[in-house]
A and B are shown apart, each in its own frame.
Chain A
Amino acid sequence: MRRLIAAALLLLPLAACGAQAAPGAAAASLVWAIETQPITLNPQQWAQNKVRLLVFNQFDALLSRAADGSFHPWLAKAWQVSADGRTYTLDLREDVTFHDGTRFDAAAVKANLDQFQVPGYNAAVAAIQLHAFDRAEVTGPYRLRITLKEPDALFLDFLASPYAGQVSPKSLKNAKDLKFGGPDLVGTGPFILDRYVQGQEIHYRRNPAYAWPPAGAAHQGPAHLAEITYRFLGEAAVRVGALTSGQVQVIEGVPATEVALIRKDPRLTLKTSLNSGTAYSYYFNTDHPPFDDRRVREAFRAAVDVDAVLKAVYQGTATRAWSIVGQKSPFYDASLEGSFGGDAAKANALLDAAGWTGRDAEGYRTKDGRRLTVREVASAPFVRDRRDVLSQAVQAQVKQRAGIDFQVRILDQGAAQKALDDGAYELFGNSRGDSDAGAALNLILPAGAAINRTHFKDPRVDRWLAAASATSDQAERKDLYVKAQRAAVRENAVVFPLYVPADQIAAHGSVQGLGFDPASGTPASAYDVRTGT
């Protein structure tokens, strides 16, 4: 019986996935289990960082972006920015065709840019990423001039983002579900989307004509894989089981609890990459007590032993954050390292000084008979990476070490938004996956900015961020962003950085060429992926 089971163990995983898994053979197809279901497959509607890997299978952007923040050619082979920062001239590749056979040219790029001006197409992108956009003019078959209303350092980042994924103008007109995308929304990418089953899988086949990979790709010409299937497996334990039993060859989203298991298995490989954008941080609401007092904000940070908390929750797989901006970003300010956290004595001294000297029956600090209570509001659909457990660990620490009553409320999106609108919170957690951390800072720090939920106001910071947006000199931008980070993290203590979000890929040893998108740190498209040794 035992031998029978052993034999079954060896044979059946192979049988289960049929021809796809024959190791060593010229297996040119792959099954990859992913965690997140796409809300949309239209790159210009893209909102989930975790589906970048799908977007860039089917679509190419105009530029590509390297890990150091520099820009490189993709569908645009060259570009020039005028001295006043308001005119961009793009020279396009002349050998590119869409999957539907239509030619990629300057008129197509203009059609894509103009699409964002259609009311109701993508209000958020029109108002944020394209706020400075004025007009695009075709000045030659493969040459285009874009005029901005004002200089915008983030415009190049837009050209390198999924939003600049080029869609065939014909399909922009004819697609059945334009905003959702799907097989009839056509791109120029290395793979052609040919099947999508909501809740189950998405299937691509190779684009045999592909010859225009972004700078930095590991090879030229068509993709190695003839086809690739992404299965949606939302449950982490099921993804890992599917991988170890050979039913899928690659998974992303490996929970901390399974990392050791995968590292121990000699047949499997594990890669991780920090995400770009902002670190997962707590932001303090400085609008009302108790966090209107800088000493209380600092005391909260000092009360938490962040290393111990991260170790307990993520079993040593999380990277501690020291600033709003994550370590992956070229704008990260390393001088903030070691500047806060893990000092209970300091926390208590600060709270004493701030007047929270009383204690109630449950051991919480009080002032004028009021308990030192702070509330976190979180929206359930955006709670990931066990952030609820992280909150509980922080809750235990601030209670034990400083007598702070930290209440964690996880609500549905409508209720959470209402609490945020009403200011019924003292603390909220947030991370952003922007490939340019400056974009996130613009949304978080300036007075009255879209997600300035700290109500932090500092005219200097507003000036620095505006200046950084107006220049495309990367060194100058870094100087300005460093100043802004120091003001928010060290001088004003309005933010409590916790950890830098990361992505993981686990795969069978026979799968080569897996990697991460240098701009975002999330898994890259399947263009360079191959099987066999």
Chain B
Amino acid sequence: MIKRLATGLGVLWAAATAAYLALLLAPGDTVDILVGDGPDTPEIRARIVAEWGLDRPEIVQYLSYLWRLLHGDLGRSYQLQRGVGEILAGQAGPTAQLTLAAAGAGILLAGIVAVGTAGRGRWWRGAASAAELVSVSVPPFLIGIVLLTVFSFTLGWFPVSGAEGVRALVLPALALGLPLAGVLGQVLRGGLERALEQPFAVTARARGLTERALVVRHALRHALIPAVTMAGWFIGTLLGGAVITEVLFGRPGLGQVATQAVSGRDLPVVMAVVLLSAVVYVAVSTLLDLAYRLIDPRIRG
């Protein structure tokens, strides 16, 4: 457990440093960002440099950044002129809600479709497979626009924007969750079908187990490991998808904060978002390990 924690901290430090270096090496400098599109005179530049301490050597700036980080101080946003911690605190909740709902929707849909179609006739499998392919390959932006046009603008079942209540969560969660369902469905069905050809399946059938019970009680467990690995990887990428979904649906969240920060080169915010994603990755991979042990007793030990 201590080893895991140390690895986790190492990952976080590496992420923080990599983000710092990437932004340091990118062309242009921070003063340019702070000047923005506005008037640009030596006097303004001098004032900005002094205000943000940009005249100190880079190594000093880096170390003081790490030092503040250790104390939980994420710094101040260049663009928004507010504490980064405060900005993220207000936005992490809605994003967590969205990604969890999307993951839930994706896993549920994939499970239902895969269990329902595994080992079925050719037609069923073909249809499910085609639907999965479409949901994976169509960009979330387009899925979102189509969902909005049909279910919000035309049918009026769901509101276009906002983050209040469950109804406002349905469409964005679907837009974000459908690609996950597509990938997961394919993997899960493949796993199920391989399991159904194994000797234990033949034995079970011989004992008189129905096909449905066989799939749910026995094959599923075998098919889950690759699917969980896939799901873990995909949940890690949901933050990227959330960027588009949040802007499209006018939802608060880390996604739109991140896009704004990246295009405005808002260093402290970008770093904090990178760190947060690293935390999520570490957490998800830890949970995956636990999940493997639950699914397959042979891994316990």
Contacts and interface: CB of A to CB of B under 8 A. Distances in A.
Interface of A: 5, 8-9, 11-13, 15-17, 33, 37, 39-40, 45, 47, 119-120, 123-124, 126-128, 177, 179-180, 197-201, 231-235, 237-238, 241-242, 244-245, 247-248, 379-382, 412-419, 421, 443, 450-451
Given A123-B48, A201-B162, A234 B263 contact: no
Given A119-B51, A414-B33, A180 B161 contact: no
A414 B34 CA distance: 10
A127 B248 contact: no
B229 interface: no
Nearest to B159: A16
Contacts of B40: 450-451
A380 B248 contact: no
Interface of B: 26-29, 32-33, 35-41, 43-44, 47-48, 50-51, 79-83, 86-87, 90-91, 94, 145, 148-149, 152-157, 159-163, 246-253, 256-257, 260, 262-265
A47 B35 CA distance: 11
A233 B160 contact: yes
A199 B257 contact: yes
A329 to B, nearest CB: 19
Nearest to A443: B39
B44 A12 contact: no
Contact of B51 (A13, A123, A245, A418): A123
Given A120-B51, A127-B43, A412-B265, 9 more contacts: A12-B157, A126-B47, A199-B250, A199-B252, A242-B152, A244-B153, A245-B160, A247-B161, A414-B26
Given A37-B260, A127-B44, A198-B87, A12 B162 contact: no
Contacts of A124: 35, 38-39, 44
B153 A241 contact: yes
B154 A238 contact: no
Contacts of A13: 156
A381 B263 contact: yes
Contacts of B87: 198
A238 B145 CA distance: 8
29 contacts: A8-B156, A37-B256, A47-B38, A119-B51, A120-B50, A126-B47, A127-B41, A127-B43, A177-B83, A200-B252, A201-B162, A234-B250, A235-B247, A238-B248, A241-B149, A242-B153, A245-B154, A412-B26, A412-B262, A413-B28, A413-B36, A414-B28, A414-B32, A416-B28, A417-B32, A418-B28, A419-B27, A450-B40, A450-B41
Contacts of B152: 241-242, 245, 247
B82 A199 contact: no
A233 B27 CA distance: 31
A128 B44 CA distance: 9
Nearest to A120: B51
A119 B160 contact: no
B47 to A, nearest CB: 4
A47 B36 contact: yes
Contacts of A421: 32
B75 to A, nearest CB: 14
Contacts of A233: 160-161, 250
A15 B250 contact: no
A231 B82 contact: no
A245 B90 contact: no
A300 to B, nearest CB: 24
Nearest to B264: A381
Contact of B37 (A12, A120, A379): A379
Contacts of B256: 37, 199, 234
A49 B131 CA distance: 45
B147 to A, nearest CB: 11
Contacts of B44: 123-124, 127-128
Contacts of B160: 233, 238, 241-242, 245, 247-248
